[in-house]
Structure 1
Amino acid sequence: MVNDELVHDAAGPVLLVGGYGTVGAELARAVSGRWPLLLAGRSPEKAAGLCAEISAEGSAEARRWDLASPEPFGASVRAVVSLVNDPDDRVLRAALAGGIPYVDVTRWTARMQRAITLTSLASPSAPVLLSSGWMGGVVPLVATALADRLGGLDTLDTAIRYDLSDRAGVDSVEFMDRLGVDFEILQSGHPTVVTPLTSPRTLPIGPHRTKVARIDTPEQFTLPLTLNPHTVSTRLGFSNPTSTTTLLTLAKSGFFRRTRSPRWRPLRHRLLYSPGEGGTAILRIEAQGPGGSLTATVTDPLGQAHMTAMGGLLGLRRVLGEDGAPAARAGVVFPESHPLPGTVLGALSDLGVSTSLADTPSQAAA
């Protein structure tokens, strides 16, 4: 195992691993001027322009940390945000060993479950915020705000409109590349195994009617543990109806099950990853609770990378105690465990992520 060493320094920089990628650069710009930054990645020379931009109002340095290389990394930092795929948990292990507040916005469900186990076994002395629910934890953050307004949460149904013209980082395809693997959700109080891209619905998401179908996302695992609903479901569809239909047809034919082996990965990735120059991220989140039902439409005109980064920024504030409440406790925490749920929608709005609420009957039954 590589001997990476991170040392906690309450006056040191915030370490963004992958801090000059598509999401990382958005977060770096948002953090600039608040805390000094250390941007780490495989090719730090690519961060020169970003560092110069940030240095106009703060300070930023870029250093090499290739998670696939045996070369060790060391730094003294106040907090860590992981914005890249970390298959060997190097970033997490180093943060745990150094007792450093940690935020992760990149893990899919199985990787999150592994991180929970690893963190628990390590007896952590700092918070480990696993904020990989859709878009940097924005869905679970809105869920806790809705639960607060409704006096609890009975059901939560999320529908995502994925804008194909939007920018996307290279790691985003890894998050989605499990369309041949069944996953578990909580439905009517019972753990239920479902298949990706099944149970389609056509729903109004913002100004668009969009066909959506099941997809595995971490909040379907964490929300039943934290907010105690009896049903949680998440569905996704593309802005181009033809792309959605093609994906559903491939899934129904068994294509993704037959091509699960690594040798088919390049083909799967070509199907799932074709980033554009920019688009709008829109989510529809329907909640029912003791106080009735609410539908939240969450919109970021700057796109999914920006929304993810803003979720990461709120996570960073949470672990550092910079959001009006004491810092999160040591150990595993999730975005929906926010101690001030009534402030969440306002905090997102201040960062450019708007939420409109309507009292409407739920249409996205599990």
Structure 2
Amino acid sequence: MSVNTKKPVLIVGGSGIVGSQAAKALRRLQPELPITIGGRDMGKAEAVAREIGGADTARIDLERADLGQPGGRAYSAVAMFLKDDTLNSLKYAQANGLPYLSISTGLFEIGPEVARYIHKPTSAPILMDSTWLAGTATLPALYFAREFRTIEAIEIAAVLDEQDLGGPAAYVDFERQTKAAPNALILKDGKWLWVSGEEAKRSFRGVDGTEVQAQAYSLLDGVSLAAATDARSIRFDLAVGESAARRRGEPFSSETIIEIAGQLKDGRTGRVRHELVHPAGQAPLTAVGVAVGIERLLGLVGGAPVAPGLYLPDVLIDPEYMVRRLKEAGTQIRRGP
């Protein structure tokens, strides 16, 4: 373990539903890595710290440039599980040269973070992880894309069970991202388009064969996949309602369907479908996505510690590694007809 990783990773929002699972996932992947659970409710934070072991807590004040941390406190990285409207967490990471990961910034609101990077490009590595469930759709899509020579279209559809919206911070994020930007960005026949109304609607076949109605949704997945694959058409659609597992009378599940069309490596034209299902919903997937992002930023897997820069998950993380970690965490991945 390097000198830097002897300092704890600060997980802001680490006592919430998703943040606490991310802390547990990071502990499973990196048993010796120190972790600090940051938040406002110290009772909840201390409970998570005790459960994962090798962790302590910190009271976080996002209204302060120093996050309310004493002068001698040092961290190895900062991971954000809530929207920081002040960007003080990013400023703190840049001021201290710390890797920074955030998952709550919508595609339409990345400007302030990008501007912070442009003004201080050599200060810290910044991982913009606000893709669907922290890269756990984009990276598998790129893994499945390896069987293609050229890609014409990528369509991703996700089912978020209405009982699986997460804690208060996650609900606020969802409300903001669905209401503040009434239009969604898609790539159609090589052109970026903001769509609404009927053009934003799409139906798809769910994992149990049910026809599901969905709406185009703008996260960073589309722009990231477009840059990585040169596909001519890409869209991400979200359906909020009843998951297939709950229709069977079971607890809610998380479902992501990835369909890729293009020329296969054997020269044939084809369309390939994969389904990713987690029986415990979206939180375990997000947890794995963030944990993998943190260990990559710190250079604990996949190469040296990441240099200062502005990154998307697929630029740093090996898709095959993400798929392996998702399977280990209980994700069921199957190739569909």
Query: Structures share a fold, TM > 0.5?
Result: yes
Q: What is the Cα-based RMSD across aligned positions, in Å?
A: 2.5
Q: CA deviation at 1:297?
A: 0.7
Matches of residues 48-67 of structure 1 in structure 2 within 5 Å?
48-55=46-53, 59-67=54-62
**Which residue of structure 1 aligns with residue 139 of structure 2?**
141
- CA distance 1:131–1:26, shift in 2 (3 Å): same
**Which residue of structure 2 aligns with residue 230 of structure 1?**
232
Q: 1:170 & 1:349 partners in 2: Cα distance?
A: 28
- The partner residue of 2:295 within 317, 340, 358 is 317
Question: Partner amino acid for 1:120?
Answer: I
- Three-state SS of the structure 1 residue aligned to 2:138 is helix
8 Å contact from structure 1 (residues 145, 344) kept in 2 = no
Q: Which runs of 5+ in 1 are unaligned?
A: 1-7, 242-276, 361-366
- CA distance 1:29–1:183, shift in 2 (3 Å): same
Q: CA deviation at 1:120?
A: 2.5
8 Å contact from structure 1 (residues 167, 305) kept in 2 = no
8 Å contact from structure 2 (residues 184, 216) kept in 1 = no
- CA distance 1:91–1:69, shift in 2 (3 Å): closer
- Three-state SS of the structure 2 residue aligned to 1:321 is coil
Aligned residues: 314
Question: Partner amino acid for 2:139?
Answer: L
**Which residue of structure 2 aligns with residue 11 of structure 1?**
6
Q: 1:317 & 1:331 partners in 2: Cα distance?
A: 16
Q: CA deviation at 1:87?
A: 0.9
Q: 2:167 & 2:134 partners in 1: Cα distance?
A: 13
- CA distance 1:72–1:236, shift in 2 (3 Å): closer
Q: In percent, how many aligned pairs have the same letter? A: 24
**Which residue of structure 1 aligns with residue 255 of structure 2?**
282
Matched, 1:21 2:16: yes
- The partner residue of 1:165 within 160, 163, 166 is 163
Q: Tell me the TM-score normalised to structure 2 length.
A: 0.84
Matched, 1:205 2:206: yes
Matches of residues 242-281 of structure 1 in structure 2 within 5 Å?
279-281=252-254
Q: 2:203 & 2:186 partners in 1: Cα distance?
A: 20
Q: CA deviation at 1:122?
A: 0.9
Q: Tell me the TM-score normalised to structure 1 length.
A: 0.78
- CA distance 1:174–1:218, shift in 2 (3 Å): farther
Q: Which runs of 5+ in 2 are unaligned?
A: 244-249, 265-269
- Three-state SS of the structure 2 residue aligned to 1:322 is coil
- Three-state SS of the structure 2 residue aligned to 1:40 is strand
Question: Partner amino acid for 1:354?
Answer: Q
**Which residue of structure 2 aligns with residue 182 of structure 1?**
183
**Which residue of structure 2 aligns with residue 264 of structure 1?**
none
Deviates more, 1:78-87 or 1:144-153: 144-153
Q: CA deviation at 1:125?
A: 4.1
Q: 2:278 & 2:113 partners in 1: Cα distance?
A: 29
**Which residue of structure 2 aligns with residue 266 of structure 1?**
none
